[in-house]
Structure 1
């Protein structure tokens, strides 16, 4: 495995300074965003597709520092029923086309989340039982069969056209694909080009064991994020893990995203990466640092140190 970093955490730095920071940290690759919810500060897909000279110059700067592009990322909701969905789908397609143009084989993204019925204008994450109310089975069928499957058949065809080998869908909440079971529901319908960006931090707060999830996923692991979560003692015992507070309200939340090692110790992380490697994944591990309990600098450095000590080389 090789270590990279999701560069949005350094979004305040200009492109060249960001690359120099990556070299100083000792990471081997960069995962940069092309659009979607991210402002894509370093590698906006639409801009680079329209300006070949700018793209060439950025690729030259990456290569000059001995860095590699681990993946392109476009975290987005292309199934949103409003204008955002249209914009996100275009930016996802731009990111896919850019990846194909520069030979990047993996695009990290999200499955999307549609409305629950025709005419609705708000995405609806249906995670309550299908047993009640009576309309639930039809809402579930509509979201998958009429909205998600057609989109992903189209995106698989696009990937084939431009030479992208893999989609890695992050198991993020409020998405149709948020755990191994939902990943396989989509993968079985549209093919093995769709796999998971295994991000253990989300599975942790959902109550799953990411090590068991890795075993269940097997060769459907297409990418991996290094990101930790801490369940906050006392608060989670009272209120449970369905947390609605802002991510910056760290003192009052029942769980928080934290620097790698601040939620699960290094022995846990060694086992996690060992099992991921056992399943046949020997690609990039990208640090995604979203710890609001400490400074960005401290969070990045401690996470890099922890990942260097635990990923399976």
Structure 2
């Protein structure tokens, strides 16, 4: 397994400076944003697709730092009901898949998207309760008319380019649990899988270790984010898991993100890494830092320090004791 980082943290740094910094910390892989919510500070998809010299320079700079690319990420809502939002997201996803193929990168990360509740809706509609039955009707329409047709097409497009799609299980989007991840995969194809982030499991009340087992048995983990979270139980009692309190108002929130080791202890993270390995994931653990109590440098550095001791670097070749 390799330790990586989602470089959106360092969007204010030039590409070469970012590579110098993360490699100096012992990072072995980078996850690069190509647009959408992560931005494209370090990976301009149009330039790299259309300029072979720029592509070669880009690849050389990464290899000179002894780094690999774990994924290209273009998180956005390609199923947004407004075309002016959805169409650029779809175009970006297609370009990112093409670029990943050209670079030999195996995974493109994004969100599943969330449609509206009818053809002329203006905003996404995220049903989270089975009753009143209106919500079931909305959910049925979203999956049958939007999610499955769209992702079946993208699954086939990704397969044609020898790329996998990692959907981040994230609240506010249609795929946010292991169950609806596997539902979409079953309907659309095996190129669709999870970019699993344990922080989004914890706040939904899902044990990330069990989520790894559920998805791992189906070989449905395509990428993994390392981010922690903490539950503030008094605020949870007040606001519930679907807390709409602004992320900046941390004192009032039911849950909030922490850097690795500051929401859950080292043993929990050792169990997460070991379970990933148990279920056949032997790829990159990519640090994502969104801790409102620490600077980027401190939060990233502590995540590296806390993950390095629990990373599994060498697989057993032979069980000499059995």
TM-score by length of 1: 0.96
Which residue number corresponds to residue 214 of structure 1?
Answer: 212
8 Å CA contact 1:250–1:293 kept in 2: the answer is no
- After superposing the two structures, state which structure 1 stretch, 277-286 or 234-243, moved more: 234-243
8 Å CA contact 2:115–2:146 kept in 1: the answer is yes
- Report the Cα offset of residue 8 of structure 1: 0.2
- After superposing the two structures, state which structure 1 stretch, 275-284 or 229-238, moved more: 229-238
Which residue number corresponds to residue 111 of structure 2?
Answer: 110
- Distance (Å, rounded) in 1 between the aligned partners of 2:238 and 2:137: 34
- Distance (Å, rounded) in 2 between the aligned partners of 1:238 and 1:113: 27
Which residue number corresponds to residue 138 of structure 1?
Answer: 137
Which residue number corresponds to residue 11 of structure 2?
Answer: 11
- Report the Cα offset of residue 108 of structure 1: 1.3
Which residue number corresponds to residue 147 of structure 2?
Answer: 148
> For residues 146-168 of structure 1, what are the alpha-carbon distances to aligned partners after superposition, in whole Å with 9 as ceiling and x for unaligned?
1111111111121122221x211
Unpaired stretches in structure 2, ≥5 consecutive residues: 314-322
Which residue number corresponds to residue 101 of structure 2?
Answer: 100
Which residue number corresponds to residue 237 of structure 1?
Answer: 237
- Distance (Å, rounded) in 2 between the aligned partners of 1:186 and 1:305: 36
For these two proteins, the number of residue pairs brought into alignment is 310
- Distance (Å, rounded) in 1 between the aligned partners of 2:110 and 2:209: 22
Q: Does the residue aligned with 1:107 lie in a helix, a strand or coil? A: strand
- After superposing the two structures, state which structure 1 stretch, 222-231 or 251-260, moved more: 251-260
Q: Does the residue aligned with 1:251 lie in a helix, a strand or coil? A: helix
- Distance (Å, rounded) in 2 between the aligned partners of 1:112 and 1:47: 26
- Report the Cα offset of residue 138 of structure 1: 2.6
Q: Does the residue aligned with 2:229 lie in a helix, a strand or coil? A: strand
Q: CA, structure 1 residues 238+139, in 2 after alignment: closer, same or farther (shift >3 Å)?
A: closer
Which residue number corresponds to residue 158 of structure 1?
Answer: 157
Which residue number corresponds to residue 297 of structure 1?
Answer: 297
Q: Does the residue aligned with 1:289 lie in a helix, a strand or coil? A: coil
> For residues 35-83 of structure 1, what are the alpha-carbon distances to aligned partners after superposition, in whole Å with 9 as ceiling and x for unaligned?
1122211002123212222222111111111110111111111000111
TM-score by length of 2: 0.93
- Report the Cα offset of residue 233 of structure 1: 4.4
**Structure 2 residue 189 is matched with structure 1 residue 188:** no
- Distance (Å, rounded) in 2 between the aligned partners of 1:40 and 1:277: 31
**Structure 2 residue 69 is matched with structure 1 residue 69:** yes
Which residue number corresponds to residue 197 of structure 1?
Answer: 195
Indicate the RMSD between aligned Cα atoms, in angstroms: 1.3
- Distance (Å, rounded) in 2 between the aligned partners of 1:14 and 1:185: 40
